[in-house]
Structure 1
Amino acid sequence: MPLWSIYHTPGTFTADEKRELATRITDHYHQVGLPRFYVVTAFHEVTPDNLFVGGEPTPVGVRVVIDHIARRLPDEQSRRRVAGWVNEIMRPFLERHEHLHWEFHVDETSADLWMINGLVPPPPGSAAEQRWAKDNLALPY
């Protein structure tokens, strides 16, 4: 499960941009074999007086926190590739904002602490996971 928590100041994203960004994020993970329903994108609007960078209120800012659970990145090259991809997907939505401060990070969480609808997700690449991806549904296996 990738969970993208996107904290942003008001007016950073339109409703259409949120949907487009969430779709692009989901499409990427689906292309590498994850079920679409594994991908969760949550937008959190934060007023400038509640978002501080360096101890100062930030008039326009975005902070993206990404939790990866379904897969692990095996090496530095893979981590750099993912960081580059996150940068590429976010940049078009953010570069139009003057003086915007934005950053992201990716955490890798233990899959041992993860369930969907009370089910332990199937092993990566297994027939059960492929069925979950095909049906876009968590099913007993």
Structure 2
Amino acid sequence: MPLWTVHHTPGIFSAEEKHGLAAAIADHYQEVGLPRFYVVVLFHELRPEDFHIGGEPAPVGVRVVIDHIARRLPDERSRRRTARWIREMLQPRLERHDGLQWEFHVDETSADLWMINGLVPPPGGSEAERRWAQDNAATAY
């Protein structure tokens, strides 16, 4: 499951922009073979007095925390490619804001501690996972 948590100050994203970004993120993961419903994107709007960078309130800021659980990136090349894709996904949506500082990072969490609707997700690339992707739902396997 990719979980994207987007912390941002007010005015960075409209409702339509949030939906567009979330859909584009889900599109990418679906294209690489993950069930679309694995992708969760949460937007957390924070007042500037609640968003500090370097110990100071930030009038405009974005911090994206991404948890990858369903897959692990096997090597540095894959990690760099993923970082470039994330940058390319975010940069055009953020660079229009003057003075905006933004950053992201990706954590790879153990799939051993992951369930959906009480079910252990099927192994990556398995027939059961392909069925989950096709049905866009978690079902017993």
Alignment TM-score > 0.5, same fold = yes
TM-score, L = length of structure 2 = 0.99
Equivalent residue number for residue 100 of structure 1? 100
After superposition, give the CA deviation of every residue in 1:83-115 in whole Å (9 maximum; x if it has no partner).
000000001110100000000000000000000
TM-superposed deviation, 1:51: 0.6
Cα distance in 1, alignment partners of residues 65 and 22 from structure 2: 14
What amino acid does structure 2 have at the position aligned with 1:45?
Answer: E
TM-score, L = length of structure 1 = 0.99
The residue correspondences of 1:1-20 to structure 2 (distance < 5 A) are 1-20=1-20
Aligned pairs, how many? 141
3-state SS of 1:63 partner = strand
- Do structure 1's residue 33 and structure 2's residue 5 form an aligned pair? no
TM-superposed deviation, 1:18: 0.2
After superposition, give the CA deviation of every residue in 1:57-93 in whole Å (9 maximum; x if it has no partner).
1000000000000000000000000000000000111
Equivalent residue number for residue 48 of structure 1? 48
What amino acid does structure 1 have at the position aligned with 2:55?
Answer: G
RMSD of Structure 2 on Structure 1 (CA): 0.3
Equivalent residue number for residue 22 of structure 1? 22
What amino acid does structure 2 have at the position aligned with 1:115?
Answer: M
- Do structure 1's residue 123 and structure 2's residue 123 form an aligned pair? yes
After superposition, give the CA deviation of every residue in 1:29-81 in whole Å (9 maximum; x if it has no partner).
00000000000000000110011111011000000000000000000000000
Q: Which runs of 5+ in 2 are unaligned?
A: none
